[in-house]
Chain A
Amino acid sequence: MLILTKEEAQALMKKVLAFSKADECEVNLTGSNAGNVRYARNSVSTSGGISQMSLAVASAFGKKLGIATINELDDASLEKVVRRSEELAQLAPENPEFVSFLGPQKYAEPVTFIPATAAITPKLRADNVAASLKVARDAKAIAAGFLEDNSGFSAMMNSHGLFAYNTTTYTNFSITVRTEDGKGSGYATRGFNDVAKLDTKAATEIAIEKAVKSATAKAIEPGKYTVILEPAAAAVLLENIFFALDARQADEGRSFLSLPGGKTRQGEKLMDERVNIYSDPLNPELPTSTWTNDGRPQEKTTWIEKGVVKNLTFSRYWAEKKGVKGIPSPDAFIMEGGTKSVAELIKGTKKGILVTRLWYIRTVDPQSLLLTGLTRDGTFYIENGEIKYPIKNFRFNESPIIMLNNLEELGKVERTVSVESNTNYLLPPLKIRDFTFSSLSDAV
């Protein structure tokens, strides 16, 4: 109901711009329907639904910018929000980093909207949760999960003639299953644009299997081990590279990409040559918006090629200052992989550790991108190509840059969700040597 068509959005925003008396005016309009169900102890705990629409108007006088937002869309309210943004702009101090709004742009047609996801009903949500709960109860295990979905549109228009429009849908699901005695715990997560691809029962069965098999964990000594990181575990480490590609931070000397004398590592081979990372808003498995909220087109971009840092992300201000085109940060990243499944990677491992999930990831040192965190919900010892036994969880201290220099093998790419940022990625499972576990944890 709140998803305006391209024509409706265009007509509404034209009306807003007609009220503008500023030097420049830019309008962003978004609307969404979101729903979620949360469950724990094999029972639904909370669920909610919220629909919202928001119109943001940015008015600029010279380098003075004011932004006002509103959720009422009658003519009087539209004029009011324009006037308010102009008043705020007049009161604001000059921002030397203000960059004039963009002119008309060309965007690819996005492929982010799936009607079936937009048509989700409370009953479908409840059925999906009931399917997960049933297999958990049948297995005499205890399930806690979260199912959320969102459908919405976003549009922007400005006084220089730029117009952009997109619709999008997604659903994310995560499930933790614990054994009744609390000795085993397993996890699975899924993210899709199309709800028809979501199988909550199958994901729950994986979590149950991990919970049951992890129940008699042995403690082994911390140290350097070969690890196989499932995509959900790889995601929370790799995204710390993705989020730290900002050119300004690198140029200013306060990034892992900085070098002495104001130079950066752009163009330098920083990791194994099998590492290739890119973004592509039109990838059918992980489509994202074809434009950013400042109006720049999102295009297929290579970030790491054969281990070499090819591109950094730029704000419009920093791009202008540096006199470059300046690529924006993408909404998702894709890492190229190989052909092997996790099971096949295990088969080819003489001694190692399988990691299902990593948790509470924090930066310890931004200079080396050293991260800390812990394994969780299914950690297993591998010997001679087989899972031998579950092991107690470890704390690690490791840099994803060092890790990608210690790459042994890449598995088959799949879509996964970061438990830290809720962002979706296409990532392979990673087999890494000399991964640094620094202490043991008794947590299950």
Chain B
Amino acid sequence: MKRRDFIQLTGMGAAGAAMLTGIPEMGMGHAISPERALEVIDPALKKRIADVALNAARSKGATYTDVRIGRYLNQFVVTREDKVQNIVNTESYGAGIRVIANGGWGFAATDKMDNDSIAKAAELAVAIAKENSRLLTEPVQLAPQKGYGEVSWKAPIEKNAFEVPMKEKVDLLLNVNSVAMKGGADYITSLLFLINEQKYFASTDGSYIDQDIHRIWPAFFITAIDKASGKFETRNTLSAPMGMGYEYLNARPQDKITGGPTTLFKGRYDMFEDARLGGLQAKEKLTAKSVEPGKYDLVLDPSHLWLTIHESVGHPTELDRVLGYEANFAGTSFLTLDKWESKKFNFGNKLVNIVADKTQVGSLGAVGYDDEGVQCGKWDIIKDGILVNYQVIRDQAHILGLKASQGCCYSQNWADVQFQRMPNISLQPGKEKKSVDDLIKGVEKGIYIIGDGSFSIDQQRFNFQFGGQLFYEIKNGKIAGMLKDVAYQSNTQEFWNSCAGIADESDYRLGGAFGDGKGQPPQSNSVSHGSSTTRFNGVNVINTARKIG
């Protein structure tokens, strides 16, 4: 789904959605009844279909084949103010077949699941591979991968959100809208977006992998208007999309962080409380002080910092970008291979430790195996500030001298070819005991930023600019009041070398997005980024207020 289609689906309009970061780019599939989403397909049937494809491709000359049989379920519940705007259930079911023939990749997909159609798609994939091999400069080199036989993996959720009655979901969202409007919101759109990927992978390596993945994103978007001046301000949800079931919405006292300027959420989310505060804060923003541009020390909450990590660490360490495969669209990377080979490139200072992890419970990237049948794990990307590794799939491993893939292969749907996508990339918490208050206490002139906002970064990931949802001025170690019109600009390496303190692991939280876009045609990836609250010194802050007309 394109950004524009999502805006249309939610009826938010371009202005309402302007700050939206979690917008998905996924194939929508067909509309179904809610009950149908609870059905499952027998793995034995999927194995039979997979074997038809593997045999057909082999008989036409493929030297490697993998088959992904996917059932992708989405549910959207969208409300605004006092009404339900849209309830959509979709299902997309089909098979994607990828082969190597004559040394080149070929891919074809079909939603017709009879033996004949599957065999034809496999044959088409081989024909495309052979056609493409004419234009190759070198054959594909695939890192060896053992077959796992018949295995399965299920996300460890407590409550399947697709099983929760629609009325309960609608009531939650309408209550959220009502409390936000009582606090000062003039308009609010709220939504629940659920995903269930039931995917089956089989390959000529001898793996037959059945996986069940669940994701949830509750979100709202508030606008408050000053009718006299015609000015308006927005305040978006502080939730994170998660790899969880409906339990994400059942926040217990221990899941809330209070005592700061707003309630923050750890692991679980209280949508009602966030909306109650959101309505008040949107209104407060209308009269908040406009920021004085200049250098500030920034204290960044994990609900904000995840996006800066995503853009400035996640993307430049994607090996396909480093190598030039994304040059025409997403871009390349400043983290060229020579910087990695030197083993002394100071990406950040010694406080900065960044880890890639496809196993983190509750995260969006967590799976048992990736979309080319590689069991997932965890590895260092930045160690004590030094660039030590990238994100790698099977046909890239030899470039780094690795003997195996790191399991970073993903496709948004059966109909799209899998390629290198970002695993969860997270900043490790500070090793010494340190609270958010401790961080703020040491700041003379700073800004505390909560929530993600506008975001933009260049095609090699040097220069970036980020906004946020809530901005609080820090004066002499104390929070001095709300600011608005804040955005900060920096350079990736300079920024991570200005890191001046990271709160300890008791503050560690995940943020993330459903809609990380890459590739042509574009595909969406879901990924989480964890961190504790972190301080950066002397960052350039601009004022974004302008006048037109």
Q: Chain A interface (Cβ within 8 Å of chain B)? A: 36-50, 52, 54, 56, 67-71, 84-85, 87-88, 91-93, 95-97, 122-123, 126, 129-130, 133, 142, 144-146, 148, 174-176, 178, 182, 185, 240, 243-244, 246, 248-249, 252-256, 258-262, 265, 268, 270, 359-370, 372-374, 376, 393, 395, 397, 399, 401-402, 419, 421, 438-444
Contacts and interface: CB of A to CB of B under 8 A. Distances in A.
A45 B15 CA distance: 37
A142 B15 contact: no
B491 A370 contact: no
A370 B544 CA distance: 8
B131 A246 contact: no
Contact of A68 (B31, B136, B227, B228): B31
Contacts of B16: 249, 254, 366
Contacts of A397: 465, 542, 544
Interface stretch (B105-113, B143-151, B430-438, B473-481): B105-113
B458 A68 contact: no
Contacts of B547: 368
Contact of B462 (A49, A133, A182, A441): A441
Nearest to B415: A50
B546 A133 contact: no
Contacts of B234: 366
The 5 closest A-B CB pairs, nearest first, are: A260-B230, A441-B463, A144-B327, A443-B460, A363-B18
Interface stretch (B82-90, B194-202, B340-348): B82-90
Contact of B542 (A84, A126, A360, A438): A438
A56 B90 CA distance: 12
B14 A43 contact: no
Interface string B127-142: 0100110111110000
Contacts of B511: none
Given A69-B31, A443-B458, A364 B544 contact: yes
B223 interface: yes
B455 interface: yes
Interface residues of B, number: 89
Nearest to A185: B327
Contacts of B540: 439
B545 A365 contact: yes
A442 B327 contact: no
B417 to A, nearest CB: 5
Among A36, A359, A372, A376, which residue has the most Cβ atoms of chain B within 10 A? A372
A97 B85 contact: yes
7 contacts: A43-B136, A133-B135, A254-B225, A255-B15, A270-B548, A360-B459, A443-B458
Given A49-B128, A88-B33, A255-B15, A39 B135 contact: yes
A95 B84 contact: yes
A442 B542 contact: no
A97 to B, nearest CB: 7
A21 B83 CA distance: 26
B4 A48 contact: no
Interface in B1-38: 2-4, 13-16, 18-19, 30-33
B115 to A, nearest CB: 17
Contact of A97 (B83, B487, B489, B548): B83
Nearest to A259: B230
B293 to A, nearest CB: 10
Given A175-B328, A254-B225, A130 B459 contact: no
Nearest to B418: A46
B185 to A, nearest CB: 11
Nearest to A265: B549
Contacts of B18: 363, 366
B402 interface: no
A51 B123 CA distance: 16
Interface in B206-249: 223, 225, 227-232, 234
B108 A254 contact: no
Contacts of B489: 395, 438-439
A410 B249 CA distance: 54
A253 B227 contact: yes
Contact of B104 (A38, A44, A71, A367): A44
Contact of B491 (A46, A373, A419, A442): A442
Nearest to B16: A254
A35 B525 CA distance: 22
A254 B417 contact: no
Contacts of B250: none
Which residue of B16, B132, B137, B326 has the most chain A CB atoms within 10 A of its CB atom?
B132
A260 B521 contact: no
Given A46-B419, A253-B227, A260-B229, 4 more contacts: A144-B328, A178-B324, A361-B456, A370-B546
B254 interface: no
A249 B104 CA distance: 50
Contacts of A262: 227
Interface in B231-278: 231-232, 234
B454 interface: yes
Contacts of A182: 332, 336
Nearest to A363: B18
Contacts of B465: 364, 372, 395, 397
B325 A56 contact: no
B458 A393 contact: yes
Contact of B134 (A126, A259, A360): A126
Contacts of B521: 36, 148
A87 B89 CA distance: 13
Contact of A71 (B30, B232, B454, B461): B30
Nearest to A45: B325
Given A97-B83, A260-B230, A372 B31 contact: no
A442 B460 contact: yes
B331 interface: yes
B491 to A, nearest CB: 7
Given A84-B33, A363-B18, A443-B458, A44 B136 contact: yes
A130 B328 contact: no
Nearest to B546: A368
B335 interface: no
> Which of the listed residues B18, B85, B462 has the most CB atoms from chain A within 10 Å of its own CB?
B18
Given A96-B83, A270-B549, A254 B223 contact: yes
B472 interface: no
A185 B13 CA distance: 35
A178 B328 CA distance: 10
A48 B417 contact: yes
Contacts of A254: 13, 15-16, 186-187, 223, 225, 232
Contacts of B459: 359-360, 374, 376, 443
A176 B321 CA distance: 14
Contacts of B415: 50
Given A41-B323, A243-B14, A248-B13, A95 B31 contact: no
A92 B87 contact: yes
B392 interface: no
A84 B33 CA distance: 7
B500 interface: no
A399 to B, nearest CB: 6
Contacts of B166: 91
A53 to B, nearest CB: 10
B163 to A, nearest CB: 16
Contacts of A419: 329
B386 interface: no
A76 to B, nearest CB: 16
B334 interface: yes
A364 B334 contact: no
B87 to A, nearest CB: 6
Contacts of A93: 84, 87, 170
B385 interface: no
Contacts of A146: 328-329, 520
Interface string B28-69: 001111000000000000000000000000000000000000
A36 B520 contact: yes
A239 B459 CA distance: 21
Nearest to B84: A93
